Amino acid sequence: MISDFKGRTAVLTGAGSGFGLECARIGARLGMNLVLVDVQQDALDRAAAEMAQAGVPVLARRVDVARAAEMDELGQAVAQRFGAPHFVFNNAGVGAGGLVWENTIADWEWVLGVNLWGVIHGVRVFTPMMLEAAKKDSAWQGHIVNTASMAGLLTPPNMGIYNVSKHAVVSLTETLYQDLRLVTDQVSASVLCPYFVPTGIHRSERNRPGDLAAGAPTRSQLIGQAMSDKAVSSGKVTAAEVAQKVFDAIAADTFYVFSHPKALGNVRSRMEAIVDIRNPPDPFLERPDVGAQLRKSLREA
């Protein structure tokens, strides 16, 4: 359990917007050293200026988290400026949808590159640094938070590529938690599984690299984008509220962090189907109108 954040160092990917920015704002209020990481330079510059105005030490780096070399360089820069980080928020993420067989190789490489490889690199680069610091100081404490999604615990249709990336993050983080428990009591981990929260993720195409450019969108991808736009923009829980839940979880060493605990009923239904060896349940059981409209739209010529 961690109660003192002042003077501690946090690395935050995706720090230019959404959960990353809101976690940085909390970190600034708590007097932390902040390492702000984003691929969008203008958003990163705004975040860095805001945190510097708050009077806390800031290191801002434009990094594509999918690229191993850039993440390695980030690790070196953090070590030189602040030493081992006490907290790592592997938060950078992008969204994509459509019927799973319609996603291109570029779609898969982009989404898995950011959503999964970005987390892998964050764990790979910073965990050894944190463990080394813990070995040198028995009072040193650290925590890693990986951002997944409720899509990492459910399998909603027409967004398989995103589901795959987030299920992998949940599995990676659960394993990280167990692996850390084998070797230390000083470093722990949590996984954040938000539902629909207004963060800007539904506009993530703005940061898609040119070498992984999207082709002409399919009908299912256009439908998926429209549904995502509506669901995310109408979310009632704010990114700031979720960020506070994250800090509360770190303080209490709580592993699973949910923005919408009521959505766990769908997770229970899925798990019960697995244990009972039944076919997957209808994902639209509570909103049959949505399912009917989606089927109608996809089956129209």
For residue 73, the one-letter residue type is E
Residue 77, pLDDT score: 98
Distance linking the first and last C-alpha atoms of the chain: 57
Buried b (16+ CB within 10 A) or exposed e, 44-56: beebbeebeeeeb
Please check whether residue 291 is in contact with residue 284, taking contact to mean a CB–CB distance below 8 angstroms.
yes
Per-residue confidence of the chain (301 residues) as pLDDT tens digits? 788 999 999 999 999 999 999 999 999 999 999 999 999 999 999 999 999 999 999 999 999 999 999 999 999 999 999 999 999 999 999 988 899 999 999 999 999 999 999 999 999 999 999 999 999 999 999 999 999 999 999 999 999 999 999 999 999 999 999 999 999 999 999 999 998 776 655 566 777 777 777 778 888 888 888 877 776 666 678 999 999 999 999 999 999 999 988 889 999 999 999 999 999 998 888 788 888 888 998 988 4
Query: How crowded is residue 247: how many other Cβ atoms within 10 Å of its Cβ?
Result: 20
Which positions ≥6 away from 272 have C-beta within 8 Å? 278
Which positions ≥6 away from 36 have C-beta within 8 Å? 12, 15, 16, 20, 24, 44, 47, 48, 51, 58, 59, 60, 61
- pTM passes above 0.85: yes
Domain spans, the chain: 9-262
Rounded Cα distance between 54 and 75, Å, is: 24
Buried b (16+ CB within 10 A) or exposed e, 196-224: bbbbbbbbbeebbeeebeeeeebebbebb
Instruction: Provide φ and ψ at 73, rounded to 5°.
Output: -65, -35
- Tell me if residue 91 falls in helix, strand or coil: coil
Query: How crowded is residue 139: how many other Cβ atoms within 10 Å of its Cβ?
Result: 6
Which positions ≥6 away from 84 have C-beta within 8 Å? 9, 126, 129, 130, 132, 133, 142
Specify the fold of 9-262.
Rossmann fold (3.40.50)
Rounded Cα distance between 177 and 142, Å, is: 12
